[in-house]
Amino acid sequence: MRQLCDADPLLRVLIRPAAMIELTEPEWEALLPRARACHLLARLTVEARAGGFAGKLPARVQDHLAAASTVAAHHERTVRWEINRIQRALQHLDSPIMLLKGAAYLAAGLPAARGRLVGDIDIMVPRNALETVERALESAGWQPTTFAPYDQRYYRTWMHELPPLRHRDRDTVVDVHHAILPPTSRLKPDPGELWAAARPLGGSRLHVLAPTDMVLHAAAHLFHDGDLHRSLRDLVDIRDLLICFAGQSHFWPSLVPRAAALHLGRPLFYALRHCCCLLGTPMPEVVASAAARFAPPSPIVRAMDWLVPNALIPGSSDAAAHRNVAGVLLYVRSHWLRMPPWLLVPHLARQALLRTSPGRD
């Protein structure tokens, strides 16, 4: 795997942005679509501008980098405005609001937000406030994206979030969570513990997760709650958070104990392993070896070492068949982790049935 991060130009420029100057046009030609596919093009623009070499790149590359950063700037404006609107919609409730993922990185001014595209806005509220928050958002113009009884029930019974709410005028989507993983999931971090450690943002009711918890949430989201498909950007998020928080003296020593307390040791193990192998992220040896106690049996580690880069990085392997196998295995894995088999089998059967029925597109 060490060879992969040297051999793959996309990983190379993510680890060492200055390597962009050395890329030939054919290398850019191969890199641009891959970087765009995993939403990392705007990130490269930020790095190229910060490094002062953006103007030295080939003209066509500059066009694409500039376009990507235009979109990222638009996302940033949109997210700031949505946070403002959500605060306003919930101003009469006394429940605290936790911003998660992209919105949190932006509101907290973290380097992970630079040139980052944000899809939906993710917030978390205490479970007992869920209903009032949903009603307040609905009366401010957010509407359920699905009315199908099955979907509604799926979310409300088995998921850690409400069915997504879309704003009727602005078309933006808010995901309202009450936990960071589904209640049916094999791992169940206690939301109460996350709230107890949360950091308020500048005197408002907005909060973000504590630094360790932010890393653990990103790790759980990537390695426990999704199918990893084209999620290299999420690994870059974790890398950015680790590097940013490394400056706080208590961050590294408290990371592994916190993971144990929140039952998120396994995702942390994977996150550290792949940040290290794929993105060359520096970390104390003692932390990496402490996290190793959360590792699965070694054949699974080896299988994941093969599966993860294949899924995370678009076009990392020339054999499309390999990618498909990796994709299917990880899709099954993500659902396996998400819910026990007696819930999973009927759900997947239904999804498969829906896919084959005509007129769905």
Partner 1 sequence: MNVGDLSLGLFAAQLAARGVAIRWGPFVSRIVSGLPELAPPLHLLYADFPLEPPGGICDFHVRVRPRSRSVPWSERRVEFLLDHAPAFPPFSRKFALAVLEWGLNWCVYGSHRFLLIHAAAVERDGRALLLPGRPGAGKSTLCAALVIAGWRLLSDELALVELQEGRVRAIARPISLKNDSIDIIRDLAPDTVFGPPAVDTHKGTVAHMKPPSPSVRRAGETAVPDCIVMPRFVGGEALQLDPVSKANAFWAIADSSLNYEILGEAGFTALVRLIDECRCYALTHSDINEAVAALDQLSREAEVSKERYAAAV
Closest separation in Å from C-beta 313 to partner 1: 11
DSSP-assigned letter for residue 128: G
Across the beta sheet with 173-177, the strand order is 142-144, 165-167, 173-177, 121-124, 97-100, 206-208, 199-200
* Chain residues that interact with partner 1, rule: CB under 8 A: 25-26, 28-29, 32-34, 36-37, 58, 60-61, 63-64, 66-67, 70-71, 73-74, 77, 230, 314-315, 355-356, 358, 361
In 3D space, the residue among 279, 126, 265 whose CA is nearest the CA of residue 205 turns out to be: 126
3-state DSSP call for residue 218?
helix
Closest distance of CB 25 from partner 1, Å? 5
Task: Tell me whether residue 85 or residue 273 sits nearer to partner 1 (CB atom).
Answer: 85
C-beta of 34 vs 207, nearer to partner 1: 34
What does the longest C-alpha to C-alpha distance in the chain come to? 57
CB distance 337 to 186 below 8 Å: yes
3-class SS at 197? helix
Instruction: Please check whether residue 66 is in contact with residue 259, taking contact to mean a CB–CB distance below 8 angstroms.
Output: no
Q: How far is the CB of 144 from partner 1 (least distance, A)?
A: 22
Nearer to partner 1, 73 or 286 (CB): 73
Nearest distance from residue 184's CB to partner 1, in Å?
27
Q: Which is nearer to partner 1, 7 or 66 (CB)?
A: 66
Answer for the pair 182, 159: CB distance below 8 angstroms, yes or no. Answer: yes
Q: Using the CB atoms, write b or e for 84-122: b if 16+ within 10 Å.
A: ebbeebbeeeeebbbbbbbbbbbbbebebbbbbbbebbb
Q: Smallest gap, in angstroms, from Cβ of residue 36 to partner 1?
A: 5
Q: CA-CA distance, 248 to 30, in Å (whole number)?
A: 38
Give the chain's end-to-end CA distance (angstroms, integer). 39
* CA-to-CA separations, 224 to 187, 194, 271, 292, in angstroms, rounded: 8, 18, 10, 17
Q: Which is nearer to partner 1, 285 or 361 (CB)?
A: 361
Question: Minimal distance in Å, beta carbon 28 to partner 1?
Answer: 6
Residue 199 CB contacts under 8 Å (≥ 6 apart), including other chains: 108, 207, 208, 209, 210
Distance of closest approach, residue 50 Cβ to partner 1, in angstroms:
20
**Smaller CB separation from partner 1, 40 or 99:** 40
Return the number of the residue (126 or 314) whose C-beta is nearest partner 1: 314
> Which of residues 84 and 157 has its CB atom nearest to partner 1 in the complex?
84
How many whole angstroms from its chain centre is CA 278? 17
Rounded to a whole number of angstroms, the minimum distance from the CB of residue 105 to partner 1 is: 21
